[in-house]
């Protein structure tokens, strides 16, 4: 008896939709990792929205940033804890103020490498100057022009 094998359609990079925010990317990654730990098999393009990466790509960027000491172990622990909760730390709660600072630092550090790889879409309200190191909100430039 011949078995029909499921072969997913390959997702082209052009059809893949980058993430809108670093938080969305992180929570997607944490859900994928939790599913993998629970025994799910990863199939590229099997989700509702085609993404330009796989969870291992996020893990590689995270590993590189940690090895370069851009992200500390404190950053990693906060990212893991709140990623599993699927909720960023709340700066209004006294117990979460330090975690919120670490979370925002980590998100800022991780943003540019994911934009460079095409995994994260550049923020429309930001302008990046030569070299990508200076970021200025558009409203600041508009106010300066007036």
Maximum CA extent, the chain: 75
* Structure letter (DSSP) for residue 124: T
Q: What is the pLDDT of residue 130?
A: 44
Three-state SS across 27-87? HHHHHHHHHHHCCCCCCCCCCCCCCCCCHHHHHHHHHHHHHCCCCCHHHHHHHHHHHHHCC
Mean pLDDT per 10-residue segment, the chain (146 residues):
53 69 92 86 63 88 95 96 94 94 94 90 58 52 62
Residue 47, both tokens = 């989700």
Predicted TM-score (pTM) of this structure: 0.71
What is the dihedral sign for C-alpha 125, 20, 63, 13?
Answer: negative
Residue 144 has a pLDDT of 61
Q: What is the pLDDT of residue 81?
A: 96
Provide φ and ψ at 56, rounded to 5°. Answer: -65, -30
126 membership: H or E segment, kind and range: strand 126-128
Partnered with residue 128 across adjacent β-strands are 135
């Amino acid at each position: 008896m011949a078995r029909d094998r499921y072969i997913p359609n390959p997702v082209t990079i052009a059809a893949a939709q980058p993430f809108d925010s670093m938080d969305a990317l992180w929570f997607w990654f944490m859900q994928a990792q939790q599913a993998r730990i629970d025994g799910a098999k990863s199939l590229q393009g099997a989700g509702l929205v085609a993404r330009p990466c796989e969870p291992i790509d996020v893990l590689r960027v995270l590993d590189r940033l940690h090895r370069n000491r851009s992200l500390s172990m404190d950053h990693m622990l906060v990212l893991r804890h709140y990623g599993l909760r699927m909720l960023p730390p709340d700066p209004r709660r006294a117990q979460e103020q330090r975690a919120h600072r670490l979370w925002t630092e980590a998100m800022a550090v991780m943003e540019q490498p994911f934009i460079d790889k095409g995994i994260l879409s550049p923020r429309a309200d930001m302008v990046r100057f030569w070299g990508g190191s200076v970021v200025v909100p558009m409203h600041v430039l508009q106010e300066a022009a007036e």
